[in-house]
Structure 1
Amino acid sequence: MARKPAVLVTGANGEIGHGLIHRLADLGTFDILALDVRPLETDLARRCAATVVGDVLDRHLLDRAMGEFEISVIFHLAAILSTRAEFVPETAHEVNVQGTLNLLHLAVEEARSIGRPVKFLFPSSIAVYGLGNLSAKRAAGRVAEDVGLAPITMYGCGKLYCEHLGRYYARHYRQLAAQSQPAGVDFRSIRFPGLISAFTTPSGGTSDYAPEMLHAASRRRPYACFVRE
């Protein structure tokens, strides 16, 4: 039985996931396989070819999905965000790092199966930067991509490490093997600052004060900001 071509979106219920699924569905170029630990809302689910409730740590679930779908693009959005990650750092590391590793392995296997590279799109974060203290941040000015990479949060540590993992899978995978071949992973990443969505409420980022403020204002509710002036 032939597998059905699709793009995989993990963390489909998140702020990026909502907008991305609607955009992909509007384009009509791809069938969408959506994965999240919570069921998708009906309006969002009907825009997908299939939805799966599950965890990126569940290798058996990922294998089953691969058995049914031919995945050419992976949007790996699933993560434990920065604030929550500080309360459960070990769990955050497992989900954010091991989950990404599982998806990279899936991309390798899928590239071998379909005979062409699999695009792997990974949202990183400005949490990968760490400049010590507020004075250092103010003095630094514009920061280059490869400067100040000393994150102080588990979320930032995981994002930076996953950038390195993506580079390894894209350029150096099994480089000492007797018959070394490219893994077939076309890894792409962008470091996002805080995100603001008009359609979803924030879910645990340290920069979520901005969207929380806007959502509270839209409901005419007071809001106490949790950051310094």
Structure 2
Amino acid sequence: MATKNAVLITGASGWLASRVADSLLKDPSTPDAHLILTDLVQPRYDSSRVTVIQADLTDVNQIDALFATAHGVPDTVYCMHGIMSRQAEDNFDLGMKVNIDAVRNLLEAARRHGQLAGKTVKFIFTSGLAVYGGPLPPVVQPTTIPTPQSAYGTSKLISELLINEYTRRGFIDGRILRLPTVIVRPGSPAAATSAFLSAIIREPLKGEIAHCPIGNSLDSPETELRTWVASSKTIIQNLIIARHIPASKFVAHTRVVCLPGFTTTIREMLEALRDVGGPEALHRVVFKDDETDRRIVSSWPEKADNSYALELGFQQDEGGMVPVVQRFKDDVEAGLA
């Protein structure tokens, strides 16, 4: 017998997806939810409300198995797997295979199995700022045309278009979330170009060296590079909110939502590190300017209009960088990061 409120999460071994799983299990609105977690590397989870399946999402048969567990067809899919930005840039073919082909296969499975079960599966897709590029307005609006300048951004945009089309046809109920850069991510550095934005806070607060690929010192002109970010706490909260928004609240022509964020600079981030962690923390940041990283990050928006996302019920950070850095420092000292 199918389980009510079954949720499938792909890329579940990743830091963000695993935190979404934690939050879903604590979500008071669905206390009976059962999670199906999958990744190429088997997720580690010990809960009677979690089924763990190791799977290669480039294999259609392995995807089908995710929709045929004892819990039946999931009501919601969180599509969070992918080859990250710098890795996708360096290995184009692998990025296309994982970031486009596997998403299309997952969409087809949600469509086919959903129709057989008489349900329209919610399909929540994590996209990002990399869909933008080239000349951009001072504030990105919902009408701003995405023109990606990287393989990763291109694959995200292609997947967004597919999800919108599948939603238009009633195959799925898509929710496309363009995430700001998430800070501060705990754990090991990721292969994403944006990973250094967390590393230059995380490692110094843990007493370790971090490398900053933007500029050659705190006072370099390059560190005035502006970027659009949100705290990990707020991003996770918004990923849970996305599941509960009625389909009727979205505008008719697209399911894309730029999640709320705030603008900061590399210099402001490092100054917040110094304010919270002291001069010794800042001294652990080693500068080595990287033209490729700087080019990619510079192509992303500096600011987006939060109004539509806030109307839908998504949340935003308040207070800028210092509260974000302080929260992470508190987590480090409490052994939570």
Mapping of 1:78-89 within 5 angstroms?
78-89=81-92
1:46 aligned onto 2:33: no
Give the whole-Å Cα distance in 2 for the aligned partners of 1:127 and 1:106.
26
Greater C-alpha Rg: 2
1:92 and 1:116, CA in 2 relative to 1: closer, same or farther beyond 3 A?
A: same
Gaps of 5+ in 1: 173-181
Amino acid at match of 2:202: H
Larger deviation, residues 53-62 vs 195-204: 195-204
1:217 aligned onto 2:204: yes
Query: Does structure 2 retain, via aligned residues, the 8 Å contact 1:128–1:151?
Result: yes
Amino acid at match of 1:26: K
Q: CA deviation at 1:110?
A: 2.3
Give SS of 1:224's match: strand
- Please report the TM-score for the alignment, with normalisation by the length of structure 2: 0.59
Give the whole-Å Cα distance in 1 for the aligned partners of 2:207 and 2:125.
35
Query: Does structure 1 retain, via aligned residues, the 8 Å contact 2:184–2:201?
Result: no
1:21 aligned onto 2:21: yes
What is the CA deviation profile of residues 115-160 of structure 1, one whole-angstrom value per residue up to 9, with x for unaligned ones? 12110000111100012xxxx45xx311223324111101000111
Q: Match of 1:147?
A: 144
Q: CA deviation at 1:45?
A: 4.2
What is the CA deviation profile of residues 43-85 of structure 1, one whole-angstrom value per residue up to 9, with x for unaligned ones? x343752111121112111222222232110000000010110
1:29 and 1:197, CA in 2 relative to 1: closer, same or farther beyond 3 A?
A: farther
- The size of the alignment, in residue pairs, is 210
Amino acid at match of 2:143: D
1:196 aligned onto 2:183: yes
Give the whole-Å Cα distance in 2 for the aligned partners of 1:190 and 1:66.
23
What is the CA deviation profile of residues 95-128 of structure 1, one whole-angstrom value per residue up to 9, with x for unaligned ones? 0001110111111112212212110000111100
1:121 aligned onto 2:124: yes
Give SS of 1:187's match: strand
What is the CA deviation profile of residues 152-211 of structure 1, one whole-angstrom value per residue up to 9, with x for unaligned ones? 101000111111000110113xxxxxxxxx32x000011112112454333111111121
Amino acid at match of 1:190: L
- Please report the TM-score for the alignment, with normalisation by the length of structure 1: 0.85
Amino acid at match of 2:63: L
Higher relative contact order (CA 8 A, sep 6+): 1
Pick the aligned partner of 1:157 from 149, 154, 157. Answer: 154
1:105 aligned onto 2:108: yes
Q: CA deviation at 1:18?
A: 1.6
Give the whole-Å Cα distance in 2 for the aligned partners of 1:25 and 1:59.
28
Give SS of 1:202's match: coil
1:117 and 1:58, CA in 2 relative to 1: closer, same or farther beyond 3 A?
A: same
Give SS of 2:37's match: strand
Query: Does structure 2 retain, via aligned residues, the 8 Å contact 1:22–1:47?
Result: no
Q: CA deviation at 1:29?
A: 3.4
Amino acid at match of 2:147: A
Q: Match of 1:179?
A: none
Amino acid at match of 2:211: A
Q: Could you say what the CA RMSD is over the residues aligned between the two structures, in angstroms?
A: 1.8
